[in-house]
Structure 1
Amino acid sequence: MDEETLNPEPVTVTSPENNNEDQPMLDVADQNPNSSSSDSDSGSEEEDQAQQNLQLQTLEDELAANPANYDAHVQYIKILRKMADIEKLRRAREAMSKLLPLTPSMWQDWAREEVAMGSGPETLSTVEKLYEQGVFDYLSISLWRDYLNFVQEHDPSVKECSPAGVSKARDLFERALTAAGLHVSEGNKLWEAYREFEQAILNTIDGTDNQAREKQIQRIRVIFQRQLSVPHTDMRSTLLAYKAWEMEQGTIVHAGHHDQDGISSHVASAYQKALEMYNARVRFEEQICQHDMPDVERLQHFMNYLKFEQSCGDPARVQILYERAIAEFPIASQLWLDYTRYLDKTLKVGRIISNVYSRAVKNCPWVGELWVRYLLSLERGHASEKEIAAVFYKSQQCTFSTIDEYVDLFLTRIDGLRRRLSCPAVEGDNALDYSLLRETFQSASDYLSPQMKNTDGLLRLYAYWSRLELHLGKDLVAARGVWESLLKISGTMMEAWQGYIAMEIESGHVNEARSIYRRCYSKRFSGTGSEDICYLWLRFEREFGSLDDFDHAERKVAPRLEELQLLRSKQESKLTEEKENSFKKNVRDKRKQPSDVTDEQYPAKRQKDAAPKQKKVHGKDYEVLNLAEKNEGEEKKDKGAKPDVENEMKQPVPEKTKVYADQCTAFVSNLHLKANNEHLRQFFSDVGGVVAIRILKDKFTGKSRGLAYVDFSDDAHLAAAVAKNKQTLLGKKLSIARSDPKRGKKEHAHTDQTGVAGGSGGSGETSNEPIAHRGSNNAIKGKNTFAVPRNVAALGWSTNKPKTENQDEEKPKSNDEFRNMFLKG
C-alpha cells in the first residue's frame, strides 16, 4: 500500500460537550491565553466559520431543490470534511451515494475516515460495506487493493489465519481477480498481492507438516501459472519470479539461459500465447494510457480497442475493457448504450446485466433508452414486480429531452404488465391486479395528454388502453370510457371517432356505432375529414343497417355535404385569386428588375455606353440598338421565348443565399423528423467541439427533411463524430459522413459546361463566345434545327468572316419578324 493509505489524513473529532456541532475541537495550544496570536487567529477562524456556514446553507438549499446536482454534493462534502462535522458528513455521503455514484477516491476517503474514527466489529462491518459499494460503482485496482489490505489488517480471523479467515480472504481475492484480473496494465498487482498472501500462510505452517506445506506450495504454483497465462505488462518479470520461486522449492535445478528453460511445456506454451496476446494489445494500451491527450481522442482509442477485443471473441475481456472505459468516461451515454447492448446480446446471466443497467441509469439518468432497456432486462431476468416497479418509479423522477422518451417508457411498463397478466412467468405474478395496469395508463394519460393533444401517438395509446380494457379487463363500460376521455381531449381528430366506432363494430354493437356517427357527422375535421366521415356513415349503413337506416343517414348527410362543397368552392376560388394576384405581382416585379440595375453593377455595359454615339451597327445607333435589344429580351421573357445569351447576362443576379464552406462539417442523414438542434448537440456531447448545427427544412412546409450539417471546431472532433455513424438517435440509426463541398463543386462545374456561364474550370466566368461556337458539345443538334435563327447575332458580337456583297442588303431580323417566320413555318 502507498504511504497515504497507511497513514490516512487525521480527522478532527467534535467534542461531545460542545453544543456547537460545527465548531471543531481546539488544540491545547489554542486554549493558552498567553499565546500572542490567539486573538487574531480566533478572529480569522470566526470569519472562516461564518463563511463556511453561509456556503453550507446555500448548498443545502440547492440540494433540497435539485437533489441530483452532482457538483453541489461534492462541494458540500468537501466543506463538511474541513469543518470535521462527522455526523453531517456521513449523512451527506449516504444521501449522495443513494442518488449518484461516488468516485473511487471518494470511497477511499470515506473508508479511511471511518477506520480512523473507530474500531471493532461494527467499524469492520461498516467499512466492508463501503468498499463493496465502491467496487460495485466503478472498476478500480487501487480500491480493490485497499479493500484487500483492510481485510488482512483489521479482520481478526484473517490476521490469525484461522480457517474461516483464510477462506474469507481467498474468496475476496478470487472476486477481485474475476473483476479486474484481466486488466492488462494493472491486473498483475492483484495477482502479486494474492501470491504474497498465500506465501505468508506458507511461512506460518510448521516445517514438520510436509503434507500441509506441499498443499500450500501447490496452491502458490497454481496462482503463478494462472497469472502467466494472462496477458499483462512486465510478463517477463513474472516468469523470472516464478522460476526463482521454483528453484527455492527445489523443483528446478538448472534454469538455463533461456527464459522458458526449466519450466513445464504446458506452462511455457500458455506463457507464449499470453505474450503474443499482449504484444497484439500493447499499441492500444499505450494509446488509452496517454492522459495528456483530449478526452475525445482517448474515448475514440477506447472504442477502437473495444472493436479489436470484440473481433477476438472473448466476452470477459470485452467486458473488463468496457469497465475500464466507463471508469474514465462515466457520463458518456453512448458508451453505456453500447456496453449494455453488447451484454444483452452475449451474456445470459440476468443479474450481471441488470447490475450494469442500474449503474448506467445512475450515471446517465437523462437517457430514456437506458431506462427502457433496464426494464426489459429485468423482465427477461424474471425479476419481481416489486423490483420492476421500483425502477419504473425512479425513471419517472428523471427529466428527458423528448416526449417520445416518456412515451416509450410508459409503453414499456404497460407492455410488461400486460405480459405478466396474460401469462404469468414469475411466482407471485398471479397476485397482480388489473387495476395496476389501469393506473399506469391513467398516469401516462395525465402526463402525456397536455403535450400530445391531437397526435397519433396519443391516439395509439388510448386505442391500446381501450383494447386491454375490453379483452384483458373484460369491461366494456371502461373501454367506452377510455374513448370518451380521448374525445374530450382530441375531439377534432376524425381518427379518434373512427377508432371508437371500430371498437363498437368489432364488439357487435351496431346501434352504439350508429349513435356515434350521429354525434360526429356534423363536426368539422381537418382536411377532407368532414366529407370522409359522412361517406363512412353511408357505407356503414349499407353494410350493417336497414333501408330506413340508410335513408335516414342520407337525409342527414346530403345537406352537410352540400354545405361542405360550397365552402370548399369558396376556399378554392379564394386560393385561385390569391395565386393570380401573386403571379401578377411577380410578373410586375420581374419587369421592373432591369430598370433597377445600376451601371456600377455591370462594368461591361458601362464600357459600351461610354463608346462614341456615332458608332453604327448595321446602320443604327449603338444606344438605340442596345435599348431595342433589351426590350426584345423582355418581350421574349413575357411570351415564353428564349432570350439570347447577351440579354441573359444582363439580367440582375438574384441575391445569393448564405454559402457555407463546410471545411470541417459532418453531413447527417436519416434524422428523425422531430429531432432538433438540441437533440443533435446532446448526441454529439461526448464528442465535443460542436460549433454550429443546421437542420435542412422544406421551404414550403418548414418541416425537417431528415438531413443536417454539423460544424466542428477541428478535424479531430469531426473524425470522432463520423465514428458515431450508424448509432441511434430518437430510435433511428443516423448516417454520418464528412461533408465534401469540393465534390459538389465539381459536379456543378461539369453541368455548367453546357450552359452560358460554364467556364472550363467551373468558376462561373462568362465566355464571350456565342453558344453555337463553343464546341461540339454545345451545338444545337437534332432534326428540329429549322427553328434556329440564322441571322440573329448576339449584341456586340461580330464575325471574323469576310463580308459578302449581300451583307449590307440583309439586315438582322427583329424578334417580331422571327416570330412571324416561325409561325408561318
Structure 2
Amino acid sequence: HGTYGVEIYWILSVSLWYDYLNFIQKYDSSVRECSPTGISKARDLFERALIACGLHVAEGSKLWEAYKSYEEAVLNSMDTMDFESREKQVQRIRNIFHRHLSIPHRDLMSTLLTYKAWEAEHGNTLDVSSSSTEGISANVASAYQKAIEMLSMRADFEEKIVKNDMADTERLQSFMAYLKFEQSCGDPARVKSLYERAITEFPISSDLWIDYTHYLNKTLKADKTLRDIFNRATRNCPWVGELWVQFMLYLERCRCSEKELSDVFERSLLCTFSTIDEYVDIFLTRVDGLRRRILFAKELDDGLDYALIRDTFQRACDYLSPQLKNTYSLLQIHRYWARLESSIGNDITAARGVWESLLKNSGSMLEAWQGYISMETEMGHINEARSLYKRCYSKRFSGTGSEDICNLWIRFEREFGTLEDFDHASQKVAPRVQELQLFRLQQESKNIASSADHKEDSVKKSTREKRKSASDAPNEQSPAKRQKNAIGHQKDKPQSSVKANKVENIVTPKDMPHGQDDLKTKDPTPERSKQYRDQCTAFVSNLNLKANSEDLRSFFSDVGGVEAIRILMDKFTKKSRGLAYVDFSDDAHLEAAVAKNKQMFLGKKLSIARSDPKSKRKGSAGHKASIEQGVGIYSSSLSLSLSLSLSLM
C-alpha cells in the first residue's frame, strides 16, 4: 500500500478506505491481535482515513464507526485488572464519539443515541430513549447543535448530488453549486473534502480539476501535502495545459528542487494540447520560474545559470515558430527573450540576434520592427535604431503600417536626431508616403469602379428579367385607355389592320400615371434608366438634406396637382443631394408651384424653377468635364499637402 501509484488514489473514496481498513484488521496479525505495534499502525491508518474522508456527509460515518469498533476491540483485549489502562482506553473511545458528534453527517441523531447508550454502559446515567442533549457536557452539546445546524443547511445540496435519475451535467452543476456554498462558509477542510467527492464522481472533468487546483493555489498555496492532488489532476486530464501551469506554480511556491520542476515541465511537453496558446503558456511559465529563481532565490543553490533560460527559449521557438509566424504570441516570446539576454545574460549581441531571428520569420510584422527599435532606443543606441528605420521604412506592412513606420521615423529624428538627420529622413519618407497614398487612391478607385460595375450588371440583369416577365404577361389597358378605344370604335375607326390595333393598345409612358408608386409597380424599366421628358416639371434646389417626398408633397399641397416627386440621391452615399424634380398634372399647377420660389422650407430658402430638359442635355458634357477636372486638381493638391505635412512634422 505504500507504493506511489496507490498512495495517490487512497483519498478518493470512503468505500476504498473502509474496505482497506477491514482488510488490515483481518489479515495483518499484529493489528488483529492488538499488539502495541499493530495498534499504532491501525490508529495511524484510521486517522489518515478520517482526514481524507471523515467530513463526507453521506458516508463518512462508516469510518468513524469502524474506528470506534476497533478501539472497543482493543479495550476488550486488555487485562480486566489493569484499571488505569482500561480507563484511558474508555476516554479514547469517548473522545472519538465527541469528535464524531461535532461533524455534520447523515446519521447524526442516531450517533447521539448510540453515544448515550455507550455512556450508560460505562456508568453514566442518561436518558437513552431521548434525542435531547440533556446530561451531556456543555461543550459536546454545543458542538452537536452546531453540527445539526450545518447539516440542515446542506440537506438540499446533499439531496441533489445523490440523485441517480439526474443527468451527469446536472449533477456536476449541483456539485459546483454545493462547492460555492462551502467556499462561502470558509472551511478549507470541508471544501477540499467536497472537491474529492466530486472528483470521485467526475474524475476526467477538466473544469472541475481546474477549479480545484485554482482553489488550492489560492487558499492552501505551499502546503506540501497537495502535491499528490496536482499529480492526479495532470494524470486524469493531461490534455489541459492550465493544469500543468498550476502544477509548476505550486512546486515553485513550495520551493521544490529544480529536478522536480524540470520533471513536471518535461512531462507536460509530452502531452497533446488543443490550442497552441497552451504550449506558449507552459513555456513562458517555465521561463518565469527560472528567472525568479535566478534573481530572487539564490539561497536555494540549485546551480542554475542563464544558459538554462536561453535553452528553454530556443526550444520554444523551434517548437512553436512554424505555427506562430506573424503572431503576437511569437513576438511576446522574442521580446521577453531579448530583454532577458540583455538584463540577465548581459549580452546585447545575443539580444540583437533574438530580434534578427524574429525578423527572419516575421519580417512583415510591423510590431516586430517596433519592438527591436524600442529596445535599441531604450538602451541609448540611437545609431542602431536609426539603421533599423532605414531598413524597414520602405517595407510594406498590413493596414496603415507602412505609413505609420514612416511617421515614426520622422518623430524619432525629431526627438533624437540632428537637423541633418531630420532632413535626411524627410527626404526619404516624403516620396514613400506619396507613393503609398497614390497606391491607396488607386485601390479605392478600383474598388469604386468594381462596385459600380457590379451594381450596373445587377441592374441590367434585373431589367432583362423584368422585361422577360413583362413580355410573357398579357397586355393590360388602363380604364382611361379602354374608354378611349371604345370611343374610337364608336366613330367607325378602321379595324381591319391588326398591326394598328396592336400599336394602339400599347400603354406608353405618356399614358401612364406619374405617381411614384405606380412607376414602381407598372414600369418594368428601373427608375435610373427611365427617360423623363420633364414637360410639366419643377426643378427644386437648395433642399434640406433631411427632406423626403412626403415633406415636399406637403409643401406643395396648397398648389395641388402633384403627380410624382423625384429626390436626387448621391450614387455612393445614397443620401440626398438637395435637388428634386416635382411633376405636375398641368401648366397651371406648375406655374403656381414656381410662384413659391424663395420661400422657406425646413430652414432653407428653396429655389424653384421650370425644368428645362434641352438646356440640361446641352450642359451634360461640360458638367462631366468639370467634374473630371476637379478630381485631377484634388489629386494633385492632396499629394502636395502630404509632402508639406511631412516636411512640417
The normalised TM-score by structure 1 is 0.58
Distance (whole Å) between structure 2 residues aligned to residue 566 and residue 781 of structure 1:
44
Structure 2 residue aligned with 1:340: 213
Structure 1 residue aligned with 2:178: 305
SS in 2 for 1:451: helix
> Residues 116 and 126 of structure 2 are in contact (CA less than 8 Å); yes or no, is this contact kept in structure 1?
no
Residue correspondence of structure 1 range 48-447 to structure 2 within 5 A: 131-136=6-11, 139-252=12-125, 255=128, 257=130, 259-424=132-297, 427-429=300-302, 431-447=303-319
Distance (whole Å) between structure 2 residues aligned to residue 375 and residue 649 of structure 1:
76
Distance (whole Å) between structure 2 residues aligned to residue 816 and residue 166 of structure 1:
122
Residues 624 and 280 from structure 1, CA distance in 2 versus in 1: closer, same or farther, beyond 3 angstroms?
Answer: farther
Out of 326, 332, 336, the residue aligned to residue 464 of structure 1 is: 336
Structure with more helix by fraction? 2
In the TM superposition, residue 364 of structure 1 has moved relative to its aligned partner by 1.4
CA deviation digits over 1:212-231, x for unaligned, max 9?
11110011111112112212
In the TM superposition, residue 283 of structure 1 has moved relative to its aligned partner by 2.7
Distance (whole Å) between structure 2 residues aligned to residue 392 and residue 508 of structure 1:
37
Residues 188 and 573 from structure 1, CA distance in 2 versus in 1: closer, same or farther, beyond 3 angstroms?
Answer: same
* Residues 1:448 and 2:320 are matched in the alignment: yes
Distance (whole Å) between structure 2 residues aligned to residue 629 and residue 383 of structure 1:
97
Structure 2 residue aligned with 1:519: 391
Residues 213 and 480 from structure 1, CA distance in 2 versus in 1: closer, same or farther, beyond 3 angstroms?
Answer: same
Out of 440, 453, 462, the residue aligned to residue 581 of structure 1 is: 453
Residues 233 and 485 from structure 1, CA distance in 2 versus in 1: closer, same or farther, beyond 3 angstroms?
Answer: same
Residues 648 and 304 from structure 1, CA distance in 2 versus in 1: closer, same or farther, beyond 3 angstroms?
Answer: farther
Out of 767, 786, 810, the residue aligned to residue 555 of structure 2 is: 786
With CA pairs under 8 Å and 6+ residues apart, which has the higher RCO, 1 or 2?
2
Residues 275 and 427 from structure 1, CA distance in 2 versus in 1: closer, same or farther, beyond 3 angstroms?
Answer: same
Distance (whole Å) between structure 1 residues aligned to residue 199 and residue 588 of structure 2:
82
Residues 598 and 461 from structure 1, CA distance in 2 versus in 1: closer, same or farther, beyond 3 angstroms?
Answer: farther
Structure 1 residue aligned with 2:351: 479
SS in 2 for 1:206: coil
Residues 291 and 563 from structure 1, CA distance in 2 versus in 1: closer, same or farther, beyond 3 angstroms?
Answer: same
SS in 1 for 2:394: coil
Distance (whole Å) between structure 2 residues aligned to residue 455 and residue 817 of structure 1:
73
Residues 620 and 468 from structure 1, CA distance in 2 versus in 1: closer, same or farther, beyond 3 angstroms?
Answer: farther
In the alignment, residue 230 of structure 2 is paired with which amino acid? Y
SS in 1 for 2:106: coil
Structure 2 residue aligned with 1:497: 369
Distance (whole Å) between structure 2 residues aligned to residue 584 and residue 558 of structure 1:
39
> Residues 30 and 38 of structure 2 are in contact (CA less than 8 Å); yes or no, is this contact kept in structure 1?
yes
SS in 2 for 1:449: helix
Structure 2 residue aligned with 1:824: 608
Percentage of matched positions with identical amino acids? 55
CA deviation digits over 1:264-321, x for unaligned, max 9?
3433333333223323323322222122322122212222322332333332222211
Structure 1 residue aligned with 2:529: none
Residues 533 and 618 from structure 1, CA distance in 2 versus in 1: closer, same or farther, beyond 3 angstroms?
Answer: same
In the alignment, residue 390 of structure 1 is paired with which amino acid? D
> Residues 630 and 647 of structure 1 are in contact (CA less than 8 Å); yes or no, is this contact kept in structure 2?
no
Residues 496 and 815 from structure 1, CA distance in 2 versus in 1: closer, same or farther, beyond 3 angstroms?
Answer: farther
Distance (whole Å) between structure 1 residues aligned to residue 8 and residue 44 of structure 2:
17
CA deviation digits over 1:205-255, x for unaligned, max 9?
111111111110011111112112212222232222212211211112654
Higher Cα Rg, which structure: 2
The number of aligned residues is 537
> Residues 513 and 563 of structure 2 are in contact (CA less than 8 Å); yes or no, is this contact kept in structure 1?
no
Distance (whole Å) between structure 2 residues aligned to residue 279 and residue 317 of structure 1:
15
Residues 232 and 498 from structure 1, CA distance in 2 versus in 1: closer, same or farther, beyond 3 angstroms?
Answer: closer
Distance (whole Å) between structure 2 residues aligned to residue 523 and residue 564 of structure 1:
11
In the alignment, residue 277 of structure 1 is paired with which amino acid? M
Residue correspondence of structure 1 range 662-741 to structure 2 within 5 A: none
> Residues 469 and 478 of structure 1 are in contact (CA less than 8 Å); yes or no, is this contact kept in structure 2?
yes
> Residues 613 and 621 of structure 1 are in contact (CA less than 8 Å); yes or no, is this contact kept in structure 2?
no
> Residues 357 and 374 of structure 1 are in contact (CA less than 8 Å); yes or no, is this contact kept in structure 2?
yes
Residue correspondence of structure 1 range 595-606 to structure 2 within 5 A: 595=467
> Residues 382 and 426 of structure 1 are in contact (CA less than 8 Å); yes or no, is this contact kept in structure 2?
no
In the alignment, residue 9 of structure 2 is paired with which amino acid? G
Residues 439 and 349 from structure 1, CA distance in 2 versus in 1: closer, same or farther, beyond 3 angstroms?
Answer: closer
Distance (whole Å) between structure 1 residues aligned to residue 608 and residue 267 of structure 2:
85
Residue correspondence of structure 1 range 601-616 to structure 2 within 5 A: 615-616=479-480
> Residues 131 and 147 of structure 1 are in contact (CA less than 8 Å); yes or no, is this contact kept in structure 2?
no
CA deviation digits over 1:78-137, x for unaligned, max 9?
xxxxxxxxxxxxxxxxxxxxxxxxxxxxxxxxxxxxxxxxxxxxxxx66x766524314x
Out of 544, 553, 562, the residue aligned to residue 416 of structure 2 is: 544
In the alignment, residue 582 of structure 1 is paired with which amino acid? H
CA deviation digits over 1:776-800, x for unaligned, max 9?
xxx9998994156965689xxxxxx
Distance (whole Å) between structure 2 residues aligned to residue 208 and residue 425 of structure 1:
62
Distance (whole Å) between structure 2 residues aligned to residue 323 and residue 294 of structure 1:
20
Distance (whole Å) between structure 2 residues aligned to residue 631 and residue 318 of structure 1:
82
> Residues 384 and 426 of structure 1 are in contact (CA less than 8 Å); yes or no, is this contact kept in structure 2?
no
In the TM superposition, residue 595 of structure 1 has moved relative to its aligned partner by 4.4
Distance (whole Å) between structure 2 residues aligned to residue 366 and residue 629 of structure 1:
78
Q: How large is the RMSD of aligned CA atoms in angstroms?
A: 3.9
> Residues 184 and 232 of structure 1 are in contact (CA less than 8 Å); yes or no, is this contact kept in structure 2?
yes
> Residues 231 and 275 of structure 1 are in contact (CA less than 8 Å); yes or no, is this contact kept in structure 2?
yes
Residues 650 and 280 from structure 1, CA distance in 2 versus in 1: closer, same or farther, beyond 3 angstroms?
Answer: farther
In the TM superposition, residue 541 of structure 1 has moved relative to its aligned partner by 3.7
In the alignment, residue 470 of structure 1 is paired with which amino acid? S
Residues 615 and 206 from structure 1, CA distance in 2 versus in 1: closer, same or farther, beyond 3 angstroms?
Answer: same
SS in 2 for 1:824: strand
Q: Which runs of 5+ in 1 are unaligned?
A: 1-124, 601-605, 634-642, 653-778, 795-811
Residues 512 and 651 from structure 1, CA distance in 2 versus in 1: closer, same or farther, beyond 3 angstroms?
Answer: same
CA deviation digits over 1:636-681, x for unaligned, max 9?
xxxxxxx4499479999xxxxxxxxxxxxxxxxxxxxxxxxxxxxx
Residues 331 and 648 from structure 1, CA distance in 2 versus in 1: closer, same or farther, beyond 3 angstroms?
Answer: farther
Q: Which runs of 5+ in 2 are unaligned?
A: 487-504, 526-547, 565-582, 595-606, 610-649
SS in 1 for 2:323: coil
In the alignment, residue 357 of structure 2 is paired with which amino acid? S
